[in-house]
Amino acid sequence: MKQYIIRRILISIVVLFGVSFLIYGILRSMPGDFVEQMTSGNPSITAEQKEKLRESYGLNGGVVKGYIGWAKNALRGNFGKSFLYSKPVTEVISDRMWTSFWLAAIAFVIQLCVAIPLGILAATKQYTKTDYIIVFLALAGISLPSFFFAAVLQRVFSMGLGWVPLSGMVTARKNLTGISLTMDIGYHFILPITVFVITGIGGWLRYVRTNMLEVLSADYIRTARAKGLPERKVINKHGFRNTLIPIVTFIGGAIPSLFAGAIITEGIFSIPGLGKAALDAVANKDLPFLMGYLMFMAILTLLGTLISDILYAVVDPRVRYN
């Protein structure tokens, strides 16, 4: 296992360099840049002045030269200064990362608490009305576009009934602290979390149901039933424990993505998380932040894959990595 982890880390480093060059090349190839965006409303700016601004922002060189300069600084932990926020990229990410994490983590826990029992129930009641209803709800949730569902919730529960805030993370003009501040943030998180749960629960539910059906058709389940074990014990002890193997692996891969933020949902509800920051950075061609954000996501993806493999070996003792 130790050699496997070391080998995977070394391969991940090589992959990161390749991904970072690809991302940098794509971002530099986008039409326009931050200087064009910043000076678009000022016709008095000359071409020479724009070129000096590009030089000051490090946008005047070629892609290869620019990438080498960025990579040298990144290896020292310096991902540059955000054009849009006028702060170091690492500071912007660290400030907004936890907002995205708590928003996604709460929804993630709710999704698992609902999807796992319903997925098991649908599998044990295969081809019954219960199964059809659960699968229908799962497919409905998957089919709902998050931007459309978020707009409907805002229209009904915020603008129509006035039960919850329309957007934002805290109530304006209120200097809340402590528990009052936490409650106010939770109050603003109700609609975004609902969007996360409804649109994301279907995938988890179908995944649990599929794996549970596969386990229930295994020989050892038939043997357990033939021995006269109660159906509840067969499902919970023998079936569910083996269903956990792929589920835990899937969860391990999903955990790092909780820090990445949700661009559409955070943008609609004006939640100041990483997703909203990335959306604003794209609109303003903020190259340093986009590089830092996308590399952050790439590292989380590779880390999640490694965690999944390790968890798979922990849950299933039969798995050994050489």
| Cα gap 71→77, rounded to integer Å | 10
| Cα gap 84→74, rounded to integer Å | 19
pLDDT in tens, 99-142: 888 888 888 889 888 888 888 888 888 888 888 998 888 888 88
pLDDT band at 89 (very low <50, low <70, confident <90, very high): confident
| pLDDT at residue 221, as a whole number | 80
* Residues 100 and 273: beta-carbon distance below 8 Å: yes
By the 10 Å C-beta count (0-12 exposed, 13-18 middle, 19+ buried), 299 is classed as middle
Measured CA to CA in angstroms, residue 105 lies from 64, 248, 265 at distances of 38, 16, 14
| pLDDT at residue 320, as a whole number | 61
Residues 6+ apart with CB under 8 A from 164: 157, 158, 187, 188, 190, 191
Answer left, alpha or beta for residue 229, where phi above 0 means left and psi between -120 and 50 means alpha: beta
**pLDDT > 70? residue 92:** yes
pLDDT band at 188 (very low <50, low <70, confident <90, very high): confident
| pLDDT at residue 223, as a whole number | 82
| pLDDT at residue 46, as a whole number | 59
Q: What percent of the residues of the chain are helix, what percent strand, and what percent coil, each to the nearest 5?
A: 75, 0, 25
Q: Which amino acid is at 149?
A: F
| Cα gap 11→303, rounded to integer Å | 12
68-82, 181-195, 303-317, range with the lowest pLDDT: 303-317
CATH architecture of 97-315: Orthogonal Bundle (1.10)
C-alpha torsion angle, residues 59, 65, 68, 69 (rounded to 10): -40
| pLDDT at residue 275, as a whole number | 80
pLDDT in tens, 232-277: 778 877 777 777 777 777 776 677 677 766 778 888 888 888 888 8
Average model confidence (pLDDT) across the chain: 79
Specify the DSSP element, H or E, that contains 288: helix 287-315
Tell me how crowded residue 219 is: count the other CB atoms within 10 A of its CB.
Answer: 7
By the 10 Å C-beta count (0-12 exposed, 13-18 middle, 19+ buried), 231 is classed as exposed
Tell me how crowded residue 216 is: count the other CB atoms within 10 A of its CB.
Answer: 20
| Cα gap 142→145, rounded to integer Å | 8
Percent of the chain at pLDDT > 90 equals: 0
pLDDT band at 49 (very low <50, low <70, confident <90, very high): low
List the domain boundaries for the chain: 2-75, 97-315
